[in-house]
Amino acid sequence: MKIRVLWGIACLALHANSLAGDVYTDDYYQQHVIATAHTDTLDKSWNWLVLGDWGRNGHFAQRSVAQWMDIAARQFDVDMIVSTGDNFYDNGIASVDDPYWQTAFENVYHGPHLFSNWYVVLGNHDYRGNWQAQIDYSAKSRRWNMPAQYYSVLKTLDDGATVHLLFLDTSPLNPDYQQEAKYAETQKQDAKAQLKWLTQQLAEHQDATWTFVIGHHPLYSSGKRYGKNKAIRNVLEPLLEQYQVDAYFAGHEHDLQHNQPAGKHMAHFVSGAGSEIRPTGQREFTRFAASTAGFAAVSVNAQETLIQFINDQGDVIYSHSLQPHKEAAQ
């Protein structure tokens, strides 16, 4: 009975999408513009979006966030979309054929400019279901990319800059989950092997112009979990700081944050506002925190990385520019 209901929802969503099929016209995009953004992005830049904590069948603000992601993807000539995890609430998915793929992903992110490559990591809620199915879906979907629980992408830009992206599976690395029955699957994973791989990747590509790490769990939080990140921070921060990683992108907290701990190289961004929102606040390391639905837009070239937070009304509510640490050290 439950499967029939879900399938019915999926069919209704498909029907609604077909009725709205002619909405994506030039007039539509001229009337829907992120006007306060750096619309020219950066010269010769690689542009992408960062979204987290989103899979809720279009509920809460998921659809409005998806709408403005499509507009941003067109406006910024986006090449890829990064998901920071918790892709399906509350208990992940059952299989590659679970109707939830349609109702929470395919039929929500259906805008014509959201069919770029999606690079995805697992969150803690994904581990409550069939996490392997999210990897296997990569063979079924043209845009969904999760080749393994953790993996890397190396990109050479038009201006010669190199960008190294490291996608982590932070749930097995998080000591806080080692005693929780609902996260038993995370306890079966080889955390030591992942850390060895991460160390090798950082050492091998330490000459990259930019190094960005993506994981579900933030190492610092201005929100609900303020003061509760020490365990995962102790696992990852020493290594990431050693290799002067430029920025760490996370989700888990249902808000938008930029945190910069004193004396640390690495910038910390939280983009976990893809659907349901929670309160956040100002802490000793907070540069920006907002309890609002939205996502991040990232623009990278050899000289600069620009990060912009965009809410589900199409407003740029925060922007920050980074310069390469290696260049600053010369």
Q: What is the pLDDT of residues 266-285, one digit of tens each?
A: 999 999 999 999 999 999 99
Task: Return d(Cα 45, Cα 39) in angstroms, integer.
Answer: 12
Task: Return d(Cα 304, Cα 258) in angstroms, integer.
Answer: 17
Q: Give me the mean pLDDT over the 121-130 stretch.
A: 98
Task: Tell me phi and psi for residue 282, to 5 degrees.
Answer: -100, 125
What are the beta bridge partners of residue 319?
308
Q: Give me the mean pLDDT over the 113-127 stretch.
A: 98
Whole-number pLDDT of residue 37? 61
Per-residue pLDDT tens digits for 169-208: 999 999 999 989 999 999 999 999 999 999 999 999 999 9
Residue scoring higher pLDDT (16 or 56): 56
Question: Which percentage of the chain shows pLDDT scores above 90?
Answer: 85
Q: What is the mean pLDDT of the chain?
A: 92
Checking if the pLDDT of 60 tops 90, the result is yes
Whether the CB-CB separation of 225 and 253 falls below 8 Å is answered with yes
Residues in CB range of 6: below 8 A, 6 or more apart: 99, 100, 103
Task: Return d(Cα 212, Cα 244) in angstroms, integer.
Answer: 10
Residue appearing with tokens 């498909």: 14
What are the beta bridge partners of residue 321?
306
| 29-102-83-158 Cα dihedral, nearest 10 degrees | -50
Checking if the pLDDT of 290 tops 80, the result is yes
Task: Return d(Cα 107, Cα 114) in angstroms, integer.
Answer: 11
Residues in CB range of 129: below 8 A, 6 or more apart: 88, 91, 92, 93, 94
Q: Give me the mean pLDDT over the 129-147 stretch.
A: 98
Classify domain 2-329 at the CATH topology level: Purple Acid Phosphatase; chain A, domain 2 (3.60.21)
How much is the pTM? 0.92
